Each structure stands twice: as structure tokens, then as C-alpha cells.
Amino acid sequence: MTLTFILIGIAAWTFSMILSDSDMIFGWWFKLIDNMPEWIAKPLGKCEYCLAGQLALWYYLIKYLNDYDLSEHILMTSLSIFTVQIINTLIYGKD
């Protein structure tokens, strides 16, 4: 399970930071969400942390609905967001 949420963080980072370029496959999506309010655009991809959190939040709810554990849900969502932070730190030296 832990690996899944690390992969969610990697996927969110890749989508937001690489595939968002205008010449990439999802460039059109980022042009579309540029016109949206920030509170909507961020979880849809403009913020890699927000996207990782949303993907992990909904993935856990759907996958583990019958065996739900709140503390595990919070932990796994946090792990996805933390994975994005690790990637940003490794690549950009961001804090």
C-alpha cells in the first residue's frame, strides 16, 4: 500500500511539473485551468502538492471504503504530499 501512495506523489509531480508544458500532451488542460479560480485550479494540477493530496484522498476513499481507517487515510495522503516535497527538494533544492 505504501508504494501506491509514493507512486501517486510521483504521478502528481510528473503531471503538474512536466506534462503541463504547452508543448506536452496535457498543455491544453493547463491553459484551460489557468482561467479558473485558484482554489479550483490548484487541486486540478496547478499545484503538485494539491494534486497529490487530492489523488491520494480520493484513491484511498474508493479503494478502501469497506475497510476504512482514518489514521491510515491521513498517513497515506500525507505520504503522497511528502513524496512531492522530496522530489522538489532533490530536483530544485526547494524547501
pLDDT tens readout for residues 15-46:
999 999 989 999 999 999 999 999 999 999 99
Band of pLDDT at residue 95, cut at 50, 70 and 90 = low
Contact 36, 75 (CB under 8 A): no
User: What domain count does the chain have?
Assistant: 1
Q: The C-alpha cell of 18 is what?
A: 512536466
> Can you give the residue range of the structural domain that contains 75?
2-92
Calpha distance 30→22 (Å, rounded): 8
Q: Does the global pTM surpass 0.75?
A: yes
Sign of CA dihedral 57, 59, 60, 61: positive
pLDDT of residue 1: 84
The grid cell for 22 is 504547452
Q: Do 45 and 51 touch, CB atoms closer than 8 A?
A: yes
DSSP 59: H
Q: How far apart, in whole angstroms, are the C-alpha atoms of residue 30 and residue 53?
A: 18
